Amino acid sequence: MFEAVSSFSPNYSCTVSIENVSMGDYQRNYDPFVESFEETPLLVAVLTYMGYGILTIFGYLRDFLRDWKFEKCHLAREREEQKDFVPLYQDFENFYTRNLYMRIRDNWNRPICSVPGAKMDLLERVTPDYNWTFEHTGNVLKDVINMGSYNYLGFAENTGTCADAASECTVKYGVGVSSTRQEIGNLDKHEELEILVARFLGVESSMAFGMGFATNSMNIPALTGKGCLILSDELNHASLVLGARLSGSTIRVFKHNNMQSLEKLLRDAIVHGQPRTHRPWKKILILVEGIYSMEGSIVRLPEVIALKKKYKAYLYLDEAHSIGALGPRGRGVVDYFGLDPSDVDIMMGTFTKSFGAAGGYIGGKKELIDYLRLHSHSTVYATSMSPPIIQQIITSMKCIMGEDGSTLGQERLCQLSENTTYFRRRLHEMGFIIYGNNDSPVVPLMLYMPAKIGAFGREMLKRNIGTVVVGFPATPIIESRARFCVSAAHTREMLDKALNAISEVGDLLQLKYSRKNRHGNEGSDSFSFLESHQD
């Protein structure tokens, strides 16, 4: 098992009193930076490849039967009279969808009919044709424990202060704005939100956008272009990847959270410059995430900032999953490490997770935000954010900051930290291989084999637990997984019920692959090693 240990990570204590939390105290208390990435057992890897091989062989056999009309194909295909034209549908590109994804398609796109809180209601559906189509039975699966939504602080709710404030805002402003910010869609609520976000982040200015994905994909092209270099973590989100590609910049990828790999790319960029001409790069921009949503790992931000300063590069930090979920004050990974927000050039995050709303933001220096207001496609062409969504963000953010006159926000931050620690520790003790940082509420549990992806999701739903399962191409082919998202809204009873179900299904499907001894004792496996980084 690989455990990376560094002295950067702080150990903050949970307290209900907001006045007791200070950055000075936070910086003086440190815990080892522990991340778990246990190597795939050799036998499991071999069996996983064999499973995909068998599925591929049967897929080609079924395609042969479809070509000879022995089996009906439900996907869109070219008509016979169009075969001499340029194809609209690439048959081979749909091979995975037709023959592998369709077998387990029932695990995704399940319709819910309630608030996606700690518990939710699911519409029951059945398939008469092996997942090609679905029919709703009219029945509702009640009180399914929700272990898949990014509801980290439990603000996705239809009762309470946030819901009441959003309702009042809807009555006053309506639901839609029907214009862009640059025309007549700039409300006083937008201004209030951006001032609050800047204060929350500790930066000079901020800007809000109606869609989290577009915050990355539409703003990175406004920041870099031809003659610029983007250094991107290999596990960055698709929105960061798309934004980098749309920018026209040269893109180089460094190994996940590997500072040696990043420094090598930075050094080479400085020494060699641009290809062919060897002129210096106009800009060098480093793209990283706070919490990586598929790995559960936390960026080594102090080391990234040190490299950024050393080589005079710019840093773009995506805090979609870390804002609100990390740090003693819920201010994200910068708060978690006790760093100065001004050391991060572009601070990006979303309101879709911890705040229970929608949209995203970018924070930084006033000059940066003023530039984006004029050059960002998300500002010029996108419709303004809906007023009730703005109010949901404002109310939940003030709650986290303690400006609502209560300690509810601090209590939820503490509860999320406790739930995360408990959930991860119990899974380790059961013998599962889980990835990520000990403080990350994103908990990937490794499934590996393709047949177990669908089986795990179905068996968990039978036990009234809603989970998210993920496979290739969203993950490496032999690293399929279930991804749990811990919430402050989960009670200990809910977590125990979910853990008991996970253990039961783990025994049924033989998923307890960890080579560590149970109850957290280290085994003697030769693949287990510890890497320490001291100050």
Task: Tell me 288's DSSP state.
Answer: E
pLDDT of residue 30: 41
Q: Lay out the sheet containing 205-209: strands in order across.
A: 205-209, 360-364, 346-350, 314-318, 284-289, 229-233, 250-254
In degrees rounded to 5, what are phi and psi of residue 91?
Answer: -60, -45
pTM for the model:
0.88
pLDDT of 91: 62
Tell me if 335 sits within 8 A of 347, measured CB to CB: no
Structure tokens given for 246: 């749309």
CA atoms within 13 A on the CB side of 229: 24
DSSP string of 140-206, one letter each residue: EEEEEEE-SS--TTS---SSSHHHHHHHHHHHHH-S---SBTTTT---HHHHHHHHHHHHHHTSSEE
Q: What is the pLDDT of residue 2?
A: 40
Nearest CA-CA partner of 175 in 212, 218, 210: 210
The per-residue pLDDT for 270 is 96
pLDDT for the residue numbered 34: 72
At residue 87, the 3 state secondary structure works out as: coil
Backbone angles phi, psi at 277, to 5 degrees: -80, -25
User: What is the number of alpha carbons within 13 Å of residue 462 lying toward its C-beta?
Assistant: 10
Helix (H) or strand (E) holding 484: strand 480-485
The CA distance from 152 to 417, in Å, is: 10
Q: Judging by DSSP bridges, how do beta strands 480-485 and 468-470 pair with one another?
A: antiparallel
Give the H or E element holding residue 448.
strand 442-448
Tokens of 516: 């560590």
pLDDT for 48 equals: 93
Q: Phi and psi (nearest 5°) for 33?
A: -85, 95
Write out the chain's pLDDT in tens, 535 residues.
444 434 333 434 443 333 333 333 334 344 556 777 888 889 999 999 999 999 999 999 998 898 888 888 777 767 777 777 777 666 666 788 888 899 999 999 999 999 999 999 999 999 998 899 999 999 999 999 999 999 999 999 999 999 999 999 999 999 999 999 888 999 999 999 999 999 999 999 999 999 999 999 999 999 999 999 999 999 999 999 999 999 999 999 999 999 999 999 999 999 999 999 999 999 999 999 999 999 999 999 999 999 999 999 999 999 999 999 999 999 999 999 999 999 999 999 999 999 999 999 999 999 999 999 999 988 889 999 999 999 999 999 999 999 999 999 999 999 999 999 999 999 999 999 999 999 999 999 999 999 999 999 999 999 999 999 998 888 888 899 999 999 999 999 999 999 999 999 999 999 999 987 554 444 433 333 333 333 3
Residue 229, pLDDT score: 98
Residues in the chain: 535
Looking at residue 37, what is its pLDDT? 81
Distance CA 481, CA 499 (A): 16
pLDDT at 429: 95
